[in-house]
Amino acid sequence: MAEHTLITTEPNAEAQALNKLRVAPAAHLAQAMADAQVDGERSVALRETPFAVQLGVRAVLGTASAEAIEGILGFELPTEHGQTTGNPDGVHALWIGPDEFLIVDPSRQQVQGEATTLQVALDGLPGQVLDLSANRTLLTLTGNSARAVLEKGCPADLHPRVFAVGTAIATELGPVPVLLHRSGEQEYRIYPRASFADFVVRWILDASVEFASPEVP
């Protein structure tokens, strides 16, 4: 399958004006995230990708509905817990449940009508596509110490033999439910609900403080 674009129209002038008024859930902490970056052997850094495209899809695998969605995406939907498919730097899918998936594109910001192409593809078939881009924000944690930071408050086993690159699960970070996607060798994407973004960012920054100092032998 060849990968397609999820949306075929550019935002109109009204949409562009509204976009300028949007404020990302963790925008007020952007400077704190920049100031907390640690370089070197114990490196760790956190950033927010504001308004990344996120579409919720409901379709039963192996049915005409799923095939219609896959035809637009250009790749197959994940078939099991933890699996992701597609291009992690472009359009890709996270497994949420047996018939539930999150389609993500972190390479660009959501625009009005984002879900239309997939909705039209269903054309009366059973299933559902909703634009959920405002539901969660996308935080990316990188660096040699990224896993160690997460392990302070994530109950999931994040060892590479279990949590390989490309794995995505629903878990918790501290007391907050999140989606966690290991998108690279030293890169983790964290999806908290927008209302919890402030808490999650502050939690991660606090958990990262120790790595700004040399390791105690």
At residue 175, the pLDDT reads 96
pTM of the model: 0.92
**Token pair in block for residue 146:** 């990224």
Mean pLDDT, the chain, whole residue set: 93
For 191-216, what is each residue's pLDDT tens digit?
999 999 999 999 999 999 999 998 77
At residue 12, the pLDDT reads 63
Rounded CA-CA distance 178/185 in Å is: 20
Domain containing residue 39: 27-50+137-217
Q: Where are the beta strands (DSSP E) in the chain?
A: 45-49, 52-58, 84-86, 92-97, 100-109, 128-131, 138-142, 168-173, 176-184, 187-192
For 44-85, what is each residue's pLDDT tens digit?
999 999 999 999 999 999 999 999 999 999 999 999 999 999
Q: Is residue 9 part of a domain?
A: no
Region 131-139 average pLDDT: 97
At residue 26, the pLDDT reads 97
Residue with structure tokens 């408050």?
A: 153
Here the CATH number for the domain that contains residue 142 is 3.30.1360.120
Residue 21, amino acid: L
CB neighbour class for 74 (10 Å; exposed up to 12, middle 13-18, buried from 19) = middle
| Cβ-based neighbour number of residue 156 at 10 Å | 17
Q: How many domains does the chain have?
A: 2
Are 92 and 119 contained in the same domain?
yes
Region 158-183 average pLDDT: 98
From 168, 126, 7, 166, select the one nearest 72 (Cα to Cα). 7
Residue with structure tokens 């919720």?
A: 56
Q: Is residue 170 part of a domain?
A: yes
At residue 2, the pLDDT reads 41
Q: pLDDT confidence of 111, banded at 50, 70, 90?
A: confident
For 2-37, what is each residue's pLDDT tens digit?
445 565 556 666 666 767 788 999 999 999 999 999
Question: Does residue 158 register a pLDDT over 70?
Answer: yes
pLDDT above 90: percentage of residues in the chain: 85
The residue among 107, 134, 161 that closes a domain is 134
Are 141 and 45 contained in the same domain?
yes
Q: Is residue 128 part of a domain?
A: yes
The residue among 134, 158, 192 that closes a domain is 134
Residues 35/27, Cβ–Cβ less than 8 Å = no
Are 216 and 142 contained in the same domain?
yes
Q: Which residues pair with 183 in a beta bridge?
A: none
